[in-house]
Structure 1
């Protein structure tokens, strides 16, 4: 079952349960998925669906960060929205898993003592393996720890 079908099913259940805030969030997510589907004119891959969900999460987090002081209603709405969106988000890799992938890329490239000059080639080979599964900033920081 695609994410679009899962979201649609969850939205219908929220509607039946009269959970309007949840239904609204799911409706927005479904709209984003449908828009990409229409633009592409074919079924979305799992990576594309996950990218859309992560984008929605990031936008909601930015809204929370930029909310004016004293606007607790915005913060509450964003927290509720994040809770719903995280149900559909892909499982993110933790630091240990990312370090394992970094080490496998280093082994694959034959780099035993990585330097700053190697960072470009390492990231070029690493990012396709972790895209949509790990935070890019965290990956960048962990690669930096390997560099001498």
Structure 2
């Protein structure tokens, strides 16, 4: 097995991937009125047209992040951020590129809780688990998909 990916490079790769998806979403969000300030009336009437637009945009956001991760990890085990940082995802048992199911499970476990309810706590929990997991430094998303992140470049 290649050497496990260094934590710092994993974090940088994730930040790069987040930005790659976030910038187009920020532009797409304008017609959905996501930048409008929430008022007490909005909280009382969740299904106003602007709130509906925000719910639709939230669904678009979830699909975008899950699809991005699934597509690239299924294709060659590397998102753009991982390629830039010299990392890749492989199946724990044999190192091959994750199949569609494994890539999808990995992406759902990584992004769904963070985008629905736990934007600050979920990434922190995953990072802590990566730091303390032995011997493979797997986050919950890696454990669920039976994957591991390895380095593609020598240290």
TM-score of the two chains, using structure 1 as the length reference: 0.27
- Higher helix residue share: 1
| Higher RCO structure (Cα 8 Å, ≥6 apart) | 2
Name which one, 1 or 2, has greater alpha-carbon Rg.
1
TM-score for both structures, normalised by structure 2: 0.26
